[in-house]
Amino acid sequence: MNENLFASFMIPVMLGIPITTLIIMFPTMLFPTPNRLINNRMVAIQQWLTKLTSKQLMITHSPKGQTWSLMLISLFLFIASTNLLGMLPHSFTPTTQLSMNLGMAIPLWAGTVFIGFRNKTKMSLAHLLPLGTPTFLIPMLVMIETISLFIQPMALAVRLTANITAGHLLLHLIGSTTLALMSISLFTALITFIILTLLIILEFAVALIQAYVFTLLVSLYLQDNT
């Protein structure tokens, strides 16, 4: 079991070529561009959920911040669909890779910080030094606030990676335990199977919640800088 515990987190390879790019592009096929006068139920539900999420994310933003609405809703749909597809058996979840999550977090965070320094230079610099700070604490507080600013993208990526990875590992361990108990005690195996079913439902919720949290934090960073 130890050999296969992290097998689902290994980058899939076909003919010696990593196919991560194809897996990342696959969720875009789940959201087709409507080309009909009257959409079907699936497209209508997708559009309704997209509008609802976009409204919740952008309701407190200024007009400049609302120009990011398409990027943020695309980010949410991508992470959510990737997490949900990763719940399928024998599938690969790209969001369990810290490198990929950093690749999403760093450019978005850097974009919000750049906008803040370009449009609100004085206010952005003022965030590095709380009001009323004693003079002898100014150098240390500026250093601490600067470090906390640069930690933000790392926190975004690590949070998403840790939650998705922990959920998948827990599912793997409880599933293996259930299979092992079937030959020992059917009653105990039934209990663990019920726990596994409840955990799967929870993981589906976590997949959506983590996508929303990631997007919401990027939205809050943008709100602070616009």
Q: Whole-angstrom Cα distance, residue 157 to residue 101?
A: 5
Give the phi and the psi of residue 18 in degrees, each rounded to 5.
-60, 135
**pTM confidence score:** 0.77
Most confident of 41-50, 57-66, 156-165: 156-165
Neighbour count for residue 222 (Cβ, 10 Å): 27
pLDDT digits (tens, 9 = 90+) for 172-205: 888 888 888 888 888 888 888 898 899 989 999 9
Section 106-119 average pLDDT = 86
Q: Of 42-56, 140-154, 176-190, give the lowest mean pLDDT range.
A: 42-56
Confidence of residue 16 (pLDDT cuts 50, 70, 90): low
Question: What's the Rg (C-alpha) of the chain?
Answer: 22
Give the pair of three-digit tokens for residue 218. Answer: 């990027």
Section 142-154 average pLDDT = 85
Residue 154 CB contacts under 8 Å (≥ 6 apart), including other chains: 102, 105
Section 34-50 average pLDDT = 70
Q: Which amino acid is at 122?
A: K
Neighbour count for residue 145 (Cβ, 10 Å): 13
Section 91-95 average pLDDT = 80
Q: SS3 of 53, please?
A: helix
Confidence of residue 1 (pLDDT cuts 50, 70, 90): very low
CB of 104 closer than 8 Å to CB of 160: no
Confidence of residue 4 (pLDDT cuts 50, 70, 90): low
